[in-house]
Structure 1
Amino acid sequence: MHRIFLKAKLHRVTTTASEVDYEGSCEIDSILLDAAGIGAFEQIQIYNINNGNRFTTYAIRGKDNSGVISVNGAAAHKAQVGDLLIIASYASYNEIEIKNYMPTLCYVDDKNILTKVGASISL
């Protein structure tokens, strides 16, 4: 049996752009993608802390150290510049993999610069 668990999250990133007239996706600073282990074109879930919107799209690589979090296409209606987001990816694990399972949790500052990577929730 396989079970779905959180693979990685980018916690409380700030939306830097919201572009309706752009092919759908979410552009994310490559440093953040690499830290979280999220690949280009990988499906992601986005949870908007400001308005409660939750939606699915895919990740595209942004410039290193740019701090970019650009919600694009139809999803741009669900996030405005300045909104705080949680970006998550999930994976399917078998019972053996679950025994060694650890998520990758990435935390940023107010400019979307990586400050911490861990495997347990910071309180």
Structure 2
Amino acid sequence: MNIQILKSKIHRVKITQAELHYVGSITIDEDLMDAANLIENEKVHIVNINNGERLETYVIKGRRGTGEICLNGPAARKAQVGDIIIIISYAGMDFEEAKTFKPTVIFPDEQNRVI
């Protein structure tokens, strides 16, 4: 049996930009992506702490070292610049493997930098 479990989480980062007229996705600073074990085009869930919104999208690589977190396309309507979000990805794996798997969870600082 395969199950979905937490793979990666960026806990509490601040939205720095929202671009409504864009194809869609979330742009994430490449330093944060590396630290959280996320790759470009990976599916993620976004949870907005400020308004309770939840959405699914995919990752676009942002400029390294900028702290950039930008919701693009229709997702831009789900948050405002300054909102705090959690970015989550999941992985499917065998039930027994999942029992010992350790997810990557990071807690960036207030400027969205890796601590």
TM-score (normalised: structure 1): 0.91
- SS of the equivalent of 1:74 reads helix
Q: Give the match for residue 96 of structure 1.
A: 96
- SS of the equivalent of 1:114 reads coil
Residue by residue, what CA displacement relative to the aligned partner does 1:53-107 show, whole Å, maximum 9, x if unpaired? 0000000000111100000100000011000000000001102312321110011
Q: Give the match for residue 46 of structure 1.
A: 46
- SS of the equivalent of 2:107 reads strand
Distance 1:26 1:95 in 2: 30
Matches within 5 A, 1:54-69: 54-69=54-69
Structure 2 gap segments, 5+ residues each: none
Matches within 5 A, 1:1-123: 1-115=1-115
In the TM superposition, residue 20 of structure 1 has moved relative to its aligned partner by 0.2
Amino acid at match of 2:95: E
Structure 1 gap segments, 5+ residues each: 116-123
Query: Higher mean Cα deviation, 91-100 or 57-66?
Result: 91-100
| Matched positions, count | 115
Answer 1 or 2: higher relative contact order, Cα 8 Å, separation at least 6: 2
- SS of the equivalent of 2:74 reads helix
Q: Identity percentage over the alignment? A: 46
